[in-house]
Structure 1
Amino acid sequence: MFNSIITFGGAYAVILFIIIDFIRYRSKNLFKRAILYSFLFYLLFVADRTIGYLFFPPFEDTYLSFQLIPFYFVRDILFFEVGSWYFWNTIKLSFYNLIMLAPLGVYLSLLFDVRSMKKAVLIIFSVSFFIEVYQLVFTYFGLTLTRTFNVDDLILNTLGGVIAFIIFRKIKQYYHLYFKPTKVQS
């Protein structure tokens, strides 16, 4: 279920927010608010997947790990024997990193109406960078097992989010082009 008290508590906070928001606004802008609720749960999911277990009291013997070589995952894929556990683990982790921020690309276009590609890339990259930094900070203070600051994660997270942003933006353009709302005259 939830790996950490942060995401567990966050889930309760989001549910409480939804209840209060629904009581307050009933069905006013319900579709947009439902998208906002799904975005909040998505943020909790990302936090849950990226924080891992939190340990109290903290570990005393932790070390910081960095992987600063871009596209190192490609070397891993080519180096490991096809079909080995290491090969498939590299494929799996690369795929997860590619899709993890893809929903953020959709939310940027759908919920926050971001239209600029540069702005979307900057936001997605910033979120990915923030994730890598807080993993490093939690590791430094011994709150999590060793997490690696990985440049490949930044690249794949950003790439996945940007691809999703572009695809969803094209879908929105297609929708507005062919399904323009018609006004009913009375």
Structure 2
Amino acid sequence: MKRIIKSIIILSFIVYIAVCVNLLFLDQRTFGASEITYAQYIRFSSNFIPFRTIWSYVQALFTGSLPLNIPITNLGGNLIAFLPMGLYLPLLFRRMRSVKALILTMTIMILGVESTQLITKTGSFDVDDIILNVSGSLIGYWIFRWDWVQKLLFVSKENPKRGKAA
């Protein structure tokens, strides 16, 4: 039974990664990137100021300045998109069972995704996406840490004194 569940988890992880690659790089708007210079593209499609986009969407929720689905989709979508990574990484890689390792790995990975989107003009670079995506993975990690989830997935508990499986 453990082997079947492990195989299902690995297969679903591969499918999840394929969907992410498609959504993040292959199914993107280019913001009219072919008609503008690279410098203009960066200026119009990037946000390097933390919480600027998040705050504007939160304000839009309260003021009604945007249709409700736009801020909810953007904020919620960025949280949910990488939530599964907070489950998959510690499940598949023992080293990712540390919250510090997960945060560092996810920050580097999302920074890479955002930078690649900027360089290839397949999306926008937004520091708030990094904040929301890493936060989403932390929510997934928090779910992973629930005892009933670990029992369901046959995760062995770490012995805090010896650092080995119990």
TM-score by length of 2: 0.72
Question: Which structure 2 residues correspond to residues 4-19 of structure 1 after superposition, within 5 A?
Answer: none
**CA offset digits 1:85-126 (Å, max 9, x no partner):** 355312210110011110000001222232211001111112
Change (3 A) 1:28 1:106: closer
Greater radius of gyration (CA): 1
Change (3 A) 1:54 1:98: closer
Task: Provide the alpha-carbon RMSD of the alignment.
Answer: 2.9
Tell me the residue number matched to 1:24.
none
**Mapped contact 2:144–2:150 kept (Cα < 8 A):** no
Tell me the residue number matched to 1:31.
5
Higher helix share: 2
Structure 2: tracts of 5 or more residues without a match: 157-166
In the alignment, does 2:142 pair up with 1:162?
Answer: no
Tell me the residue number matched to 1:88.
69
Change (3 A) 1:54 1:40: farther
Query: 2 CA distance for matches of 1:115 and 1:81?
Result: 38
Over the matched positions of the two proteins, sequence identity in percent amounts to 32
**CA offset digits 1:18-60 (Å, max 9, x no partner):** xxxxxxxxx99332122111101100111111112489xx936
Paired residues, what number? 143
Tell me the residue number matched to 2:24.
50
Change (3 A) 1:165 1:151: same
TM-score by length of 1: 0.65
